[in-house]
Amino acid sequence: MVNGLDRRVLWVFAIAFALAALLTKTHTDSCNDMSRIAAIDSLAERHTFRIEQSPWGGTCDRYTYAGHFYSDKEPLLIVMGAVVELAMRPFHVSFVTNFPLAYYLVTLFTVGLCFAAGTAYAYVLARLLGLSERIALVACGLMAVATPVLTWAVVLANHVPCGMAVLAGATHCILARRGAPAHAFLAGLFVAIAAAFDAAAVVFFLIPLFVLPRRSAVSWLAATLGALPLLAAQAAFNLHFSGSVIPPAMNGNVWDYPGSLFKHHYLTLGVVGSADAYKDYAWYLTFGDKGLFTYSPAVVLCIWGLVLMWRNRGEQRILAAGIAASCAVFLVLTFLFTDDHSAGNYGERRYADFLALLCVALGPLLAAIRSRWAVWAVRLVVLAGIVMEAIGTVSPWTGNPGFTWNLDRFHTIWLHAPWSAAIDVLGFLGVVVVAMRAIRAARGESVLRPNDQPSWA
């Protein structure tokens, strides 16, 4: 029989999935999506990863190997999408017969499901860290509605599934630290799944390095056994379909897209140019047109929360160290190995790889705030985050700067479909009201009541 705590996990999952279902797109404006669609169509309809026979095989995000074209995207989301398309076949729905419906369903039952599962994991992890049910609910809700995580959960992109797998891995790391080797296996598996969604996520193996018990050989062996098979399978896939274990998008020998940063070398430092150019690019990716803080104001609260987790010692300190170290390394690699000036994204989409993980710190922050001014400061930052995410969901694949372009797009929607736009505005206002009240109600409620330990602990 499912107990009350388990029911709350299911309710969190169901509400997050419903939110994704309401907002998931029926079209795409990006080569990134089209590349996956071509591979999904080829795998489901022709049982091959070659995309030249697909109607969408002319996408710019492709590479050439052994005389054939392939998508340069990691295969895990492609395989998941092909499974969904095969499940739609009895209903005569496919990308060829009904593109809008097929895109919607494939996105919802891959990325949307991952978003919902990750939101549920956010609730579970907050409870494991000793936070009350109310704070855990508010924290996972803010992760879902006050950061660009939802923005990238409504299109067929790999970053939200990656980020949610990282969050699941961190949760199982905490459980493994409490003496459950099976959870160490799951921790290694989920971080490997994250790396299968996005190769850059290998940096999040720093989390088990920080969190797993140092003297438990069983836990380390279990985590290794969980991670290695999938990592080996990914390397074997790359080798078979590109001639190298390096991901095709990082392999300049096969990826012939003119914008490739790795066109002539396997890895190339100095992508942006001079030291001054790197300084400008760092600003661009932090506070500028693709800035982390520009599009994700709640990151300020997350950093504040990480400081509080460090002061709280115990599991919170160890987890905070793992989160801070892995996110910092990810940011440094983003600065060194990308040049995103021309990309049509709402902000920097790669940040969705770690935003869900970073929002773990929101729970301890909510538990610590007491004064009225602190509550209002948190509310203002959350309000800014909700505004930025709401505008992002208009069109994740947009122009630069994304904020301005999406406001123009929403204005166009308002002119052509005012009732639909009005419903969107009312929904936005409802989310704001609920979030503001929830923050006030949750402040300072940090201690678990007696006999209220989660059943999964």
pLDDT in tens, the chain (457 residues): 345 557 899 999 999 999 999 999 999 888 889 999 999 999 999 999 999 999 988 888 888 888 889 999 999 999 999 999 999 999 999 999 999 999 999 999 999 999 999 999 999 999 999 999 999 999 999 999 999 999 999 999 999 999 999 999 999 999 999 888 899 999 999 999 999 999 999 999 999 999 998 878 999 999 999 999 999 999 999 999 998 888 887 777 776 554 444 444 334 444 555 667 778 888 999 998 899 999 999 999 999 999 999 999 889 999 999 999 999 999 998 888 777 777 788 999 999 999 999 999 999 999 999 888 999 999 999 999 999 999 999 999 998 888 999 999 999 999 999 998 999 999 999 999 999 999 988 876 654 443 344 444 4
Q: Which two tokens stand for residue 59?
A: 């996408």
What is the C-alpha separation between 5 and 377, in angstroms, rounded?
31
Type of residue numbered 263? K
Angle at 299 between CA 297 and CA 302, to 5 degrees: 135
Specify whether the CB–CB gap between 201 and 193 falls below 8 A.
no
pLDDT of 12 reads 96
What is the C-alpha separation between 310 and 302, in angstroms, rounded?
12
What is the C-alpha separation between 382 and 301, in angstroms, rounded?
9
Residue 449 lies in a domain: no
Specify whether the CB–CB gap between 440 and 375 falls below 8 A.
yes
Task: For residue 401, say if its preceding peptide bond is cis, omega within 30 degrees of 0.
Answer: yes
Angle at 87 between CA 86 and CA 89, to 5 degrees: 65
Residue 69 — φ and ψ, nearest 5°?
-95, 140
Residue 453 lies in a domain: no
Domain range holding 175?
4-247+254-442
What is the C-alpha separation between 420 and 413, in angstroms, rounded?
8
373, 374, 367: which is closest to 311 by C-alpha? Answer: 367
What is the C-alpha separation between 394 and 376, in angstroms, rounded?
28
Residue 457 lies in a domain: no
What is the C-alpha separation between 264 and 245, in angstroms, rounded?
17
85, 52, 86, 84: which is closest to 71 by C-alpha? Answer: 52
Residue 71's SS3 state is strand
Type of residue numbered 167? L
The helix-helix angle for 75-88 and 99-107 (nearest 10°) equals 120
pLDDT of 259 reads 45
Q: Report pTM.
A: 0.92
* Alpha-carbon distances, residue 102 vs 25, 92, 98, 108, 240 (angstroms): 11, 10, 6, 10, 29
Residue 419 lies in a domain: yes
Residue 447 lies in a domain: no
Specify whether the CB–CB gap between 122 and 130 falls below 8 A.
no
pLDDT of 28 reads 87
Residue 278 lies in a domain: yes
Specify whether the CB–CB gap between 115 and 160 falls below 8 A.
yes
Per the structure, the count of domains in the chain is 1
Burial of 214 (0-12, 13-18, 19+ CB in 10 A): exposed
What is the C-alpha separation between 448 and 5, in angstroms, rounded?
13
Residue 304 lies in a domain: yes
pLDDT of 4 reads 52
Residue 451 lies in a domain: no
pLDDT of 355 reads 96
* Alpha-carbon distances, residue 168 vs 165, 192, 360, 426 (angstroms): 5, 11, 11, 33
What is the C-alpha separation between 100 and 23, in angstroms, rounded?
13
